[in-house]
Amino acid sequence: MSARPGCTGAAARVKSVLTALLMMAPAVLQAATLEDSYVAARDRYTATLDRLEKSGAPAARVLAREKPALADLEQRLRRIIGAHAFKGFSAAGRINLGTLVSGYGHGTLDGLRYSSQRDKAQVIVSTAGLLEGWLRAHRDWWGPDVPNVPQAADDALKSEAFYTQALDTDAAIFGYGELPVAKPATARFAFAMLAARSQDAVPRTPDEILLALVEDGRVAVASAAVKAKIDPLPACDAVAQDYDGKLKGIEAAYAASDPKDDKLSEQAEKLRAEKDVAFRRCFAERASRESFFADVTRQAQAILDAVSTALSASKP
């Protein structure tokens, strides 16, 4: 019996795909093994250092134990992520982990951080596998009462919570709207937004661009200071002032209450949060009409294209 037309060609194509997958399997398995080994070592170091700190050991002793641990993890990351060259940035990336001790500054994204002169810009390179594990670990990082990082990678890379937790920063990161960048040809995902950092009130204007790129199994997160001059938007200031008027009345009522009315305090806190969201929503909606918008979008696009080119030129 003769074979049906097309069967031989289809079988050959299936065989070709299977052969390619089998050839890739060792490299994929090796990467996964290296990532698992890195995470296990990181967690062991943290457990050891946490015990040491809780025992009352001097801070200098804890730091002395932490330094070689970070150095070991950095070398592990180099084997996982590979070497990259970003024009104008440090030649060798440093580990992005701020500390291995649980608490303040702990839990930043696992990756190598490349910095420009005076740290005006940074690029952090990680992998899709490391990001996936990091997201699982950060599912409830801030507890149940605060919005945490989304678990889908693409959603996470668009969220303020991700950048606040992933970057080595001592402030919260606030987004002021997405920038309409084009995804580089070799990338699977690209994103850019205007942002600002603050330990207190939300700034009136953004001064930073945050970007994310997923390409060839690697994840790059970049930050850069905005070059264009961004002035406050009067319409958005008016939105904030309207909330301030309402807050003033609630705060006065709370001050006059005896005993103190906790419901008024909660109402004021909720209104402050609503004010911040409304103000930044206003900014995001109006920014595209402003003269600075085209400039910051071009700046973001140039950074994304440069990062993509560097990633394509240097395979793990």
Half-sphere exposure of 159 (CA within 13 A, CB side): 15
Q: Average model confidence (pLDDT) for the chain?
A: 89
**Given this model, what pLDDT does residue 4 score?**
44
Amino acid at 104: Y
Cβ proximity of 218 and 127 under 8 Å: yes
Please compute the mean of the pLDDT values over residues 289-310 and round it to a whole number.
Answer: 96
Q: What is the domain partition of the chain in residue ranges?
A: 28-230+293-313, 234-289
Cα torsion through 12, 15, 21, 25, rounded to 10: -150
Please compute the mean of the pLDDT values over residues 106-120 and round it to a whole number.
Answer: 89
Structure letter (DSSP) for residue 117: G
Q: Is the pLDDT of residue 250 over 50?
A: yes
Please compute the mean of the pLDDT values over residues 217-244 and round it to a whole number.
Answer: 96
**Given this model, what pLDDT does residue 104 score?**
85
**Structure confidence by residue, pLDDT tens digits, 135-182:** 999 999 988 888 899 999 999 999 999 999 999 888 999 999 999 999
Higher pLDDT, 127 or 25: 127
Element (H, E) at 18: helix 7-54
130-134's contacts with Cβ under 8 Å and 24+ in sequence apart are 130/35, 130/38, 130/39, 130/80, 130/219, 131/156, 131/219, 133/35, 133/39, 134/109, 134/110, 134/166
Structure letter (DSSP) for residue 15: H
**Given this model, what pLDDT does residue 16 score?**
61
